[in-house]
Structure 1
Amino acid sequence: MSRILGIIAACALAFASLTQVSLPAAQAAPVNARSAAQSAGLLDVIVTLKPTADAQATANALVTNKGGQVTHVYQHVLNGFAATLTDTLLTVLRGDARIQAIELDRTMRINDTQTPTPSWGLDRVDQRNLPLNNAYTYASTASGVDVYVVDTGILTTHPDFGGRAVHGTDTIDGDSNATDCNGHGTHVSGTIGGNSYGLAKQARLIGVRVLDCNGSGSNSAVIGGLDWVVANHQAGKSAVANMSLGGGASTALDDAVRRVIADGVTMAVAAGNENSDACSKSPARVPEALTAAASDINDARASFSNRGTCVDLFAPGVNITSAWLDNGTNTISGTSMASPHVAAAAALYLSTHPGASPATVNSAIVAATTKGKITGTARTCVLLIICSAATPANHLLYTGS
Structure 2
Amino acid sequence: MHRTTCGLAVLIVASALLATPAQAAEADFVKAKNPVAGGSFIVSLKPGAAVQASSSALTQRYGGTLDAVFSHAMRGFQVKNLTEAAARRLAADPAVKAVYQDGTAKALDVQTNPTWGLDRVDQANLPLDKKFTYPSGGASNVTVYVTDTGIKTSIADFEGRASVGADFIEDGQNGQDCSGHGTHVAGTVGSRTYGVAKKAKLVSVRMLGASCGNSGPDSAGVKAIEWVTANAQKPAVVNASWTFDTADIGNDAIAGMISSGVQMAAASGNSSTNACSTGPAKIASLITVNATSTNDARASFSNFGSCTDIFAPGDGITSLGLNGGATNMSGTSMASPHVAGVAALYLSANPSASPQALRDALVNNATDGKVTNPGTGSPNKLLYSGFIGGGPDQVCGPGTNGDDVSIPDTGTAVSSSVTISGCTGNSTASATVKVDINHTYTGDLAIDLVSPSGKSYVLKKAGGASSSAGVHETYTVDLSSEARNGTWKLQVTDIYTYDVGNIDTWTLTV
Aligning the two structures, in what range does the TM-score lie when normalised by the shorter sequence?
0.7 to 0.9
User: AA paired with 1:215?
Assistant: N
Deviation at 1:215, TM superposition (A): 1.1
Structure 2 residue aligned with 1:57? 53
Match of 2:42 among 27, 37, 46: 46
Larger proportion of strand: 2
Matched, 1:105 2:105: no
**How far apart, in 1, do the equivalents of 2:292 and 2:350 lie?**
28
Q: 2:132 aligns with which of 131, 136, 142?
A: 136
Q: Which residue of 1 aligns with 2:420?
A: none
Q: Distance in 2 between matches of 1:98 and 1:360?
A: 35
Match of 1:11 in 2: none
Q: Deviation per CA, 1:226-285, whole angstroms, max 9, x where unpaired? A: 100011024xx2111000001334333022111111111121000000111111111111
CA contact (8 A) 1:200 1:348 kept: yes
2:123 — aligned with what?
Answer: 127
2:160 paired with 1:160: no
CA–CA separation in structure 1 for the residues paired with 2:208 and 2:293: 26
Once the two structures are TM-superposed, the CA of residue 139 in structure 1 deviates from its matched residue by 2.1
Q: CA deviation at 1:368?
A: 1.0
Q: How does 1:80-91 map to 2 (within 5 A)?
A: 80-84=76-80, 85-91=82-88
| Aligned AA (1:63) | T
RMSD: 2.4
Q: Which residue of 2 aligns with 1:201?
A: 198
CA distance in 2, matches of 1:97, 1:188: 41
Match of residue 421 from structure 2: none
Give runs of aligned pairs for residues 355-374 of structure 1, distance below 5 A: 355-374=352-371
Alignment of 1:244-393 (within 5 A): 244-378=241-375, 390-393=376-379
Larger CA deviation: 28-37 vs 192-201: 28-37
More displaced 10-residue stretch of structure 1: 148-157 or 42-51: 42-51
Residues 174, 71 of structure 1: alpha-carbon distance in 2 compared, 3 angstrom cutoff: farther
What's the TM-score, normalizing by structure 2? Answer: 0.67
CA distance in 2 between partners of 1:100 and 1:132 (Å) = 50
C-alpha deviation, 1:315, in angstroms: 0.3
> Which one of 142, 146, 165 corresponds to residue 145 of structure 1?
142
**Residues 35 and 207 from structure 1, CA distance in 2 versus in 1: closer, same or farther, beyond 3 angstroms?**
closer
Paired residue secondary structure (1:268) = strand
Aligned-partner residue type, residue 216 of structure 2: G
| Paired residues of 1:150 and 1:243 also in contact (CA < 8 A) | yes
Residue by residue over 1:101-144, the C-alpha shift from the partner in whole angstroms, topping out at 9 and shown as x without a partner, is 1122232223x432243100000011111111111111241111
* Residues 82 and 116 of structure 1, relative CA distance in 2, 3 Å threshold: same
Residues 168 and 177 of structure 1 are in contact (CA less than 8 Å); yes or no, is this contact kept in structure 2? no
Distance 1:312 1:91 in 2: 36
Residue 86 of structure 1 and its aligned partner are, at CA, apart by: 1.0
Tell me how far apart the structure 1 counterparts of residues 351 and 30 of structure 2 sit (CA, whole Å): 43
Normalising by structure 1, what TM-score? 0.85
Match of 2:485 in 1: none
CA gap 1:394/1:66 in 2 versus in 1, 3 angstroms: closer
Equivalent-residue separation in structure 2 for 1:252 and 1:33 (angstroms): 8
Residues of 2 paired with 1:312 and 1:36: CA distance?
Answer: 27
Q: 1:74 aligns with which of 57, 62, 70?
A: 70
Distance apart, 1:350 and its partner CA: 0.7
Residues 1:42 and 1:166: Cα distance change in structure 2 (over 3 Å): closer
Please report how far the alpha carbon of residue 186 of structure 1 lies from its aligned counterpart in structure 2 after TM superposition. 0.7
1:219 aligns with 2:218: yes
Instruction: Compute the displacement of 1:367 (Å).
Output: 1.1
> In structure 2, what residue type is equivalent to 1:347?
A
**C-alpha displacement of 1:94:** 3.2
The match for 1:240 is: 237
Residues of 2 paired with 1:304 and 1:312: CA distance?
A: 17
Unpaired segments ≥5 residues, structure 2:
1-20, 388-510
Equivalent-residue separation in structure 1 for 2:37 and 2:171 (angstroms):
24
| Further displaced range: 43-52 or 136-145 | 43-52
Corresponding position of 1:191: 188
* Bigger mean CA offset, 46-55 vs 219-228: 46-55
Contact 2:22/2:93 (8 A) holds in 1: no
Find the residue that maps to 2:77 and give its secondary structure. strand
Taking a change above 3 Å as real, the CA distance of residues 27 and 293 of structure 1, as seen in their structure-2 partners, is: closer
User: Which shows bigger deviation, 364-373 or 132-141?
Assistant: 132-141
Corresponding residue for residue 386 of structure 2: 400
Deviation of the 1:70 alpha carbon: 2.7
SS in 1 for 2:153: coil
Gap change, CA 1:253 and 1:294, over 3 Å in 2? same
Offset of residue 67 of structure 1? 4.7
Aligned amino acid, residue 243 of structure 1: A
Counterpart AA for 2:219: S
SS in 2 for 1:325: coil
